[in-house]
Chains A and B, each alone.
Chain A
Amino acid sequence: MADDHGDTASSTAVGTDVAQNSAPAHSAGTAVVATDEVPNPGFPPYRPRVTDLDPKVDKQQERRISGLFFISIIGSVLAVAAYIVFPIEPGNMDSVRNNTLFLGLGISLGLLGIGIGAVHWAKALMEGHDLVELRHGTRGSEETRAKAIEVFTLGNKESGFGRRTLLRNTLIGALVVTPLPAIALFRDLAPEGSPVPLLRHTFWEKGMRLTRDPSGTPIKASDLTLGSAFQVIPEGLNDSEHRIEEKAKAAVILVRLKPGDMEISEGRKGWSYDGIVAYSKICTHVGCPVALYEQQTHHLLCPCHQSQFDITREAAVIFGPAARPLPQLPITVDSEGYLIAQSDFNEPVGPSFWERPL
């Protein structure tokens, strides 16, 4: 059946021999040249659809598709109705849910009706024959390429770009240097000064009380029972100007262990008080809060990347990608029995950075 639809010059109908429209043999490139290839059988005969054969089905499909478009109209109208009928009542979460649900269902219906209808129309009723278009190599024709080369040659000749090397090279040099001011402009993305000193210090100072996070009430040594853990912030942090930035460095976890369970190294003998130890809560890997304390094993677990630290061994890394132990905050008690810091941390807290050891 040779029914050319006559739409595009390059389109030929299905069922014709391909040999006519396949381009002349081209180089096989690196592929094995097949001398004995199975010949292309050409297009298979068109298999008519039910709608092609039976006008009744055709009509039925038409009604069905217009039904889908009707459903779409109804859906869109319902969406507007839902917007009004299901308002949000302040404080009522059910009303938020109903608004979202019914508005969304209405819109979905409006969209899906159009979508399914249009696709169904295309598949069931629109002309179903496959058409053929010839490909042409992506590369421009020899003539076009010659023209393009000529354009460049003329451009080069008329401007003297290739000949006047001094002009060309200084221009390239100038172009390379022009972005420099743009790079310099970005310096003031952050305030003056170096980030390094900031990373070395936290809010903690000598004599500052350990307080509960987030309330800020001071903690007595006697408040901690054996095995309990407190989330701690320094006293006065909540009133600080840079509360969140300071908290991101100063957050501490406080744990009471049996003094006999702990291995304490030489320099840290006086850093704990009666089995109470304070460690930075900021993971030494990438800075997540190491918030999960396992009472039985005395392990601290970082929920982000599962680094584990052993509190009985000065928060040494026992698993996970972290490389350094959590820094320890030296603590003691004041005259009223409240826990206080002996000093700031003795090393930078949080993730490692290039200049850290300097």
Chain B
Amino acid sequence: MTTTPTQDVQQKSRGQRFTSAAANYIDERTSMSGLVKEVGRKIFPDHWSFMLGEVALYSFIVILLSGTFLTFFYQASMVEVEYDGSYAPLKGIEMSAAMASTLDLSFDIRGGLLMRQVHHWAALLFVAAIGLHMLRVYFTGAFRKPREINWFIGFVLFILAMAEGFTGYSLPDDLLSGNGLRIIDGMVKGIPVIGTWISYLLFGGEFPGVDIVSRLYILHIMLLPAILIAALGVHMLLLVINKHTQFAGPGRTNDNVVGSPVMPGFAAKAGGFFFIVFGVITLIASTFSINPVWVYGPYDPSPVSAGTQPDWYIGFADGALRLVPPGWEVIWFGQTWSFNIIAPLVILGLFIATVAFYPFIEAWVTGDKREHHIADRPRNAPTRTAIGAAGVTFYAVLWAAASSDLIATHFKVSIEGVIHSCQALLIFGPIIAYLLTKRVCLGLQKKDREIALHGYESGRIVRLPHGEYIEVHEQLNEYERWKLVNYADYKPLVIRPNAEGKISAGQRVRASASRWFFEDRIAPVSQREIEQSKDEHH
């Protein structure tokens, strides 16, 4: 199909003429063609786990859209009003304008309840998707240079997402969210020196006051989203600059990216996936009720229902509060030291800080200064994977502890038993998980070696002439084998004296940390080994 330019112009349809005129108009005013040239055919590698970050991004867009709808009807005010909407059981009850407008939004606005549920489900999914995305990045080592900063920004996004969740959760001013705020108030008061005053300023006087809802509202719809969107922008920008990681595969190296181009393949898949995420959230929201505040009623400091649960992502913090043994409070120098608050806060703080700074810690321990663009298979970094498993276990125990009462009533065991088990698990669980995971990883690496060298069991049993039965092993082809053998092998760092001939304490610590990290290792299969094993088989 070769056409001369003149023919081309004549043959252009009206649509094509419009498109090129519009493109020309925009480019002459924005230099857009440069951007399209740069980004339009950028390559994105494909793997199902790369979708988790996308889920987070798209559910955030759903949150923005549905949240905007909610703001048109919601009133962030704690002024007491008498409810006069169409939900009969609460008619005539005194409640805040926030609660009343939430009920009106749910029961008197068509699609209002749907949008509330879309918003809430999307928020739950948002935090969950971020969490899973972080786990994917962690376990594949995708946080290594040059992506340490982006890991940290992602971590900030995770914290902001939880803050958004909590502030939003408190806005309806219902019984459940009021109790949530009560817990926050109690925790803040337990902070040494400044706690009492912080609580006083936060609530605008005594708990609950009449200010907290409108203050949380402005945080929820302006300040936090603004920071979140800015951080998200930097996160995406760094993603483009660093390019996406890819899993090891035939033809893939640390120096290339293999995948589909933004235009059209990736754009179609990602754009389509946005609609799928939106659609699934809407489907869940239209069929499953979430946060039925009318069942709980307006906030009142006296009643509370048994089995109260925070939204899932706050669970780990609530669980940490529950696991403190009785009596952790002392009076020193005439002041109250509420260690039943301080201890969980410090432990959670350390845990979160470890997550935030893990890439920098690992980089120091390994002394690795290279760029990494090939995602590790978790088994090929046994110590990191084991640390991750320990962290997940720690989080999971705290999270389970937040449902201690429900576990007790559901499985008909004593609440004391559940709490004591969780306390023990919190300490021993991560250790067991660490040891187990490390062994499993090393075992899997050994299995990979075995398969790479001797092939896989074909399931075909053959009887040899002298009567012996053997199972025939099929060799892998070189493409399949490559996935199993292509990973970097590390040895512990060697302590070297510095220029003055001394070995510093830092060096020693680093060397022992490195030994801990890399001592147990399975070397990847080498070419010679493959050849040797071929000889054996022939």
Asked if A352 CB lies within 8 Å of chain B CBs, one says yes
Which listed residue, A42, A198, A282, touches B251 by the CB 8 Å rule? A42
The 7 closest A-B pairs by CB, nearest first: A104-B286, A286-B186, A118-B272, A115-B275, A323-B329, A111-B279, A43-B251
CB atoms of A351 and B185 under 8 A apart: yes
CA distance A224 to B157 in the complex (A): 54
A22-B304 CB under 8 A given contacts A91-B86, A127-B265, A189-B202: no
A90-B196 CB under 8 A given contacts A115-B275, A319-B416, A323-B326: no
CB atoms of B257 and A135 under 8 A apart: yes
> Within the complex, what minimum Cβ distance (angstroms) separates A35 from chain B?
8
CB atoms of B489 and A43 under 8 A apart: no
Which residues of chain B have a CB within 8 Å of any CB of chain A?
41-43, 86-88, 106-111, 113-114, 117-118, 146, 179, 182-183, 185-187, 189-197, 199-209, 211, 241-243, 250-251, 253-261, 264-265, 268-269, 271-280, 282-283, 285-287, 299-308, 318, 321-329, 331, 334-336, 338, 340-341, 366-371, 373, 404-405, 415-416, 419, 478-479, 481-482, 485-486, 488-491, 493, 523-528, 530
User: How many A residues face the partner with a CB closer than 8 A?
Assistant: 118
CB atoms of B261 and A8 under 8 A apart: yes
Per-residue B-contact encoding for A115-130, CB less than 8 Å = 1, 0 else: 1111111110011001
A30-B493 CB under 8 A given contacts A103-B111, A242-B206: yes
21 A-B pairs (CB sep. < 8 Å): A11-B261, A18-B253, A26-B370, A30-B493, A32-B489, A38-B524, A41-B251, A96-B106, A111-B279, A132-B256, A133-B43, A231-B303, A245-B205, A248-B208, A288-B186, A307-B326, A351-B189, A354-B193, A355-B336, A356-B336, A358-B334
Q: Which residues of A contact B279 (CB under 8 A)?
A: 107-112, 115
A231-B302 CB under 8 A given contacts A43-B250, A114-B272: yes
CB atoms of A245 and B111 under 8 A apart: no
| B414: nearest chain-A partner, CB-CB | A319
CB atoms of B278 and A115 under 8 A apart: yes
CB atoms of A213 and B527 under 8 A apart: no
CA distance A187 to B491 in the complex (A): 57
Q: Which residues of A contact B271 (CB under 8 A)?
A: 118
A133-B110 CB under 8 A given contacts A44-B251, A119-B272, A119-B273: no
Which listed residue, A27, A44, A231, A322, touches B370 by the CB 8 Å rule? A27
Which listed residue, B87, B182, B524, touches A287 by the CB 8 Å rule? B182
CA distance A112 to B273 in the complex (A): 9
| B191: nearest chain-A partner, CB-CB | A354
Of A30, A107, A286, A321, most B-chain CB atoms within 10 Å: A321
CA distance A118 to B197 in the complex (A): 55
Q: Which residues of A contact B419 (CB under 8 A)?
A: 306, 319-320
Which listed residue, A103, A116, A242, A304, touches B114 by the CB 8 Å rule? A103
Of A21, A27, A107, A286, most B-chain CB atoms within 10 Å: A286
